[in-house]
Structure 1
Amino acid sequence: MFLRLSKAVLFMLGVFFFMSFFYDFINVPPKPLKNKPFQARDLPKNETSVQWKPSIGEALSSTAQISSPQISNLKKFREKMILLRRSYIHLDNETLQELKEGQINEIRNTLAQELQEVANLWLQNASANPRKVLILTTWRSGSTFFGELLNQFPGSYYFFEPLIEQHVQRAATNSTQMDILEHLFNCNYQDIRYSKESKWILRHNSRLMPICKKTLGFKEEDLCLDSDFLSKVCALFPIRLMKTVRLETRNVEDLMKKLPGLKVISLIRDPRGIVASRERMPWCSRPQCSDVQHVCERYNRDVESSFEFRSKFSERFMVVRYEDMSLNLYRTVQRVSEFLDFSLSEKIISYIQNHTNLPQFRARKGHDMSLKHSHGTFRNTKSHTFEWRSTIKSEALNQTQQLCASGMNRMGYKLVPSIGVLHNPNIKLMDQIY
């Protein structure tokens, strides 16, 4: 028994000393070496360049230059490897420009093939006068699905939530939301700087990301966050589509005046469904998102402004009810297509079938979880629409109906006297005003 205990103690001591040595090995700051590899600080300061970390193969070829005397000296070898991990390879401007142009030409050719399948001649000749479309809505209103649906129109360049402030660094302190949207609609990325955390935003652009993900020596964030590259790619597309939940409808009038060709779609959902859905979202803890009073104050303003602008800009402003889209998706897509003067393509019809046909996408491996994903684009739309009727709490129901009453009446949503009536599936909750 004593022998076993002694072996265990010796084993633990050995593990402790090994971990201590390993920790020191990877954390000792490197000392300057005479024959050090390439470093970012060694590059000319007045030269614009793109840099990235070397590949495994490049790292191995660099380590082969380390001599035997250096390898015998553990400390120097450790410093050499740390410097190697922090080293960069420099790409001159001429090579970088050639690389960008090659990728832009590839996107141009892919886009041409995509547009050949469309009968709408406007799309094929619209680079000089691109169509600009803005989807306005609020959190938990079905905008991720709706935006991705419109992104299926051939020739679309999709801006997904461009006003997420923690990921967008404003070039000037006086920049406003309108400035950012105007710059992006005009494909001017020079004044818009995305951070590396923005990759998931750009990933919604299905025509851009295949190029960015290629192993060109660039990392994904290097190419996709390059303002010059993004500006040139964006300018190729005849449709510039944007959706945001961070802009109130009342503030869009100035943007419509600055961009005469801009068309706006206001997507509005029953506020009771919004409140019930947000209660389940852990990220929705701020009062602006979770507090019913805040929700209804903005909801009533958005509804009022939507009706005002629909009357004022009858050919440029459209209101879509989330429930109408869910219950009659094909009809809603037809209405939206007519409003935008777009032709329905096989790609859109296929997207609708693949993303709303429950047995079809349940049969796909790994897609069962997407049914419950909070920002997923797979939907059994009819059953998902009124799922909140069985989950909303009585207090939230009463408060929402009281504070959002004006907006609900304008949108044709019916109030219910109690939670028991709400649970009756035979009770209709909206008028057929559309």
Structure 2
Amino acid sequence: MQCSWKSVVLLALASIAIQYTAIRTFSPKPVSLLCSVGLAPAGHPANCTVRDLTRLGQGTVSEQGCDEILTNTPPFSSAAAPSHHAQKRTHIIILATTRSGSSFVGQLFNQHPEVFYLFEPLYHVQLALLPRLAQSRNMAERRVMLGAARDLLRSLYHCRLNSLESYIRPRPANHSTDKLFRRGASRSLCSPPACEAALGPEGQSLVLADEGECVRRCGPLNVSLAIDACRAKRHTAIKTVRIPQVSDLRALIEDPKLNLKVVQLVRDPRGILASRIETFRDTYRLWRLWRATGRRPHNLDLGQINTVCEDFLRSVSTGLSRPSWLRGRYLLLRYEDLARFPLQKTRELYSFLDLVLDQSVEDWILNNTRGSRDLSSRQKFTTVRDSAANAENWRVKLTFDMVVYTQTACQQLLDVLGYKTVYHARELRNLSHSLVEDRTFLPFS
């Protein structure tokens, strides 16, 4: 006997009606019944309500607690009152390498009142899994590091900052620690509720002057309060120099729950080398000896700059090839462009992220891109500097031989990113002629 399509539809509707009647018979609050029989996750209160399910449309109550879902899900009804928690969060990762200007870019988000910013949380993963894994060329070791890093990033973007406690040494007691790396670099962690000491006498939030003042006044960080601070913001931004290539983030980028966007920050490798020589004096001691004597030490670790160029080239080549999984989620940003045109490039950056550029960010840019050259030379990690002058000051800090070697090792990367090769020492020192080609790197959608 063959059933017509009308019969099938009628049978399905009848089945749904019977199941609905049964649920209503057993409980006046059917959603509470679902939670009470174990559909809420372990460790979360069964606090689902009819209103929750209405707002969720079709519930994913079995996967997340209602509170967390509602934080990231817009209201089902367009008439619902707007709130921070009802809007979809944008998650941002600044992908860079050491001494490429990533701290400066991080501040472009840290200064925004609706962004929760974390400075290098993957530092703790590196430290816990042995520092050598961070730059290891052994693929098995890199997979261990990257696997842990991806898991932690996923948790942090969902404001589960307690996941970080497993990597902090010594492990936090009662969710309190004074060992969070560069806690003072995050305004969110130096403001209420994460820091009650930043609350003024009339209840207003104070802006602490610098990282040191934050550490002194705020005391140990309560991770539970940091979670509250994260959930109070609309967006989350994380800066890291510990993910070598954008392809290492593919699983997170393709996760529809994350809405992750990548800002790939690059810099002329000759500028990176010059900055590292000045900043990491012990690690780059032999490079300093080469610069001082004019003779390259036979035991110099050339892999230090080779690794930078190899990782950059692979990552940038992936991004510029425009794979479908990066569509609308990848922006290539040259540090030199940002240093020369900070306001213009910041506006382009915020446009890519679909964020509103707050006036506080523009004010910060104006106040922090006109610093003196003397100040930037004395304070290696400051973001206050003459940014335009700083963009190519490596040209007076490296010898011509050092530049020639770096160009040879990184020639393909220089060509892709639009950095000019120099062929004579006088050309290197002629600062009136820029070595940065005019290039436009647009995101694709």
TM, length-normalised to structure 1:
0.62
- 2:318 corresponds to which of 305, 314, 320: 305
Residue 235 of structure 2 corresponds to residue 245 of structure 1:
no
In structure 2, relative to structure 1, the CA distance for the partners of 1:398 and 1:376 (3 Å cut) is same
Q: CA deviation at 1:220?
A: 7.5
What does 1:195-234 correspond to in 2, within 5 Å?
A: 195=169, 196=177, 198-211=179-192, 212-214=194-196, 225-234=221-230
Verify the 8 A CA contact 1:157 1:239 in the aligned structure 2.
Answer: yes
Which residue of structure 2 lines up, in the alignment, with residue 149 of structure 1? Answer: 108
Shift of 1:381: 0.8
| Counterpart residue number, 1:17 | none
Question: Does 1:356 find its partner at 2:369?
Answer: yes
- Conserved? CA contact 2:95–2:243, under 8 Å: yes
Question: Judging changes above 3 Å, is the alpha-carbon distance between structure 1 residues 179 and 332 closer, same or farther for their aligned structure 2 residues?
Answer: same
Letter in 2 for 1:307: L
Alignment gaps of 5+ in structure 2: 1-80, 130-143, 170-176, 199-214, 285-299, 441-445
Are the structure 2 counterparts of residues 345 and 320 from structure 1 closer, same or farther at C-alpha, using a change threshold of 3 Å? same
Q: What is the CA–CA distance in structure 1 between the aligned matches of 2:98 and 2:90, rounded to whole Å?
A: 25
Secondary structure at the residue paired with 2:331? strand
The CA RMSD measured in Å over matched residues stands at 3.1
Q: SS state of the match for residue 116, structure 2?
A: strand
Partner of 1:379, secondary structure, is coil
User: Offset at 1:405?
Assistant: 1.0
1:187 equivalent to 2:188? Answer: no
**1:403 and 1:209 mapped to 2: Cα distance?**
42
Q: How many Å separate the matches in 2 of 1:291 and 1:167?
A: 18
Q: Secondary structure at the match of 2:97?
A: coil
Moved more, 174-183 or 412-421: 174-183
Task: Kindly report which structure 2 residues correspond to 1:260-339, keeping only aligned pairs within 5 A, or say none.
Answer: 260-282=258-280, 285=283, 291-309=304-322, 312-339=325-352
Counterpart of 2:334, as a letter, is R
| Larger CA Rg, structure 1 vs 2 | 1
Percent identity of paired positions between Structure 1 and Structure 2: 25
For 2:347, the aligned partner's letter is Q
* Aligned twin of 1:28: none
- Which residue of structure 2 aligns with residue 133 of structure 1? 92
The 1:374/1:405 distance shift into structure 2, 3 A limit, reads same
* Partner in structure 2 of residue 160 of structure 1: 119
2:262, 2:123 → 1: CA distance? 20
Does the CA contact (< 8 Å) of 2:89 and 2:235 recur in 1? yes
Q: Is the 8 A contact 1:133 1:242 kept in 2?
A: yes
Question: What residue number does 1:380 align with?
Answer: 386
Q: Is the 8 A contact 1:127 1:238 kept in 2?
A: no
Q: Secondary structure at the match of 1:291?
A: helix
1:343-398 Cα shifts (integer Å, max 9, x gaps):
2222112101111133xxx6xxxx96455322111021111111111111223211
Aligned to 1:60: none
SS in 1 for 2:107: helix
C-alpha distance in 2 between matches for 1:345 and 1:180: 29
Change in CA separation of 1:220 and 1:128 when aligned onto 2, cut-off 3 Å? farther
How far off is 1:315 after superposition? 1.2
- TM-superposed deviation, 1:255: 1.5
Q: Residue in 2 aligned with 1:397?
A: 403
Alpha-carbon contact 1:135-1:147 (below 8 Å) kept: yes
Contact 2:178–2:220 at 8 Å: present in 1 too? no
State how far apart, in whole Å, the 1-side matches of 2:378 and 2:315 are.
Answer: 28
Letter paired with 2:249: V
Per-residue CA distance 1:175-212 (angstroms, 9 max, x = gap):
61100111111111232213456345221111221345
Shift of the 131–149 alpha-carbon distance from structure 1 to 2, 3 Å rule, reads same
Distance change >3 Å, CA 223–CA 238, structure 1 → 2: farther
> Number of aligned pairs?
302
Which range moves more in the overlay, 293-302 or 152-161?
293-302
- 1:67 matched to which residue of 2? none
Deviation at 1:167, TM superposition (A): 7.7
Which residue identity lines up with residue 294 of structure 1 in the other structure?
Answer: T
Amino acid at match of 1:246: R
> Relative to 1, partners in 2 of residues 1:126 and 1:317: Cα closer, same or farther, differing over 3 Å?
farther
SS of 1:350 mapped into structure 2: helix
TM-score by length of 2: 0.61
In 1, distance between residues paired with 2:301 and 2:324? 29
How far apart, in 1, do the equivalents of 2:397 and 2:272 lie? 12
Structure 1 residue 293: Cα displacement: 2.1
CA distance, structure 1, for counterparts of residue 301 and residue 154 of structure 2: 25
For residues 27-77 of structure 1, give each alpha carbon's deviation from its aligned partner in whole angstroms, at most 9, with x where no partner exists: xxxxxxxxxxxxxxxxxxxxxxxxxxxxxxxxxxxxxxxxxxxxxxxxxxx
The one-letter code matched in structure 2 to 1:142 is G
| Higher alpha-carbon deviation: 194-203 or 413-422 | 194-203
Please state how far the C-alpha of 1:312 moved relative to its aligned partner. Answer: 4.8
Q: CA 1:412 to 1:154, structure 2 compared with 1: closer, same or farther past 3 Å?
A: same
Distance 1:136 1:167, change over 3 A: closer
Residue 231 of structure 1 aligns with an amino acid whose one-letter code is I
Structure 1, unaligned stretches of length 5 or more? 1-121
Whether the aligned pair in 1 keeps the contact of 2:190 and 2:218 (CA below 8 Å) is: no
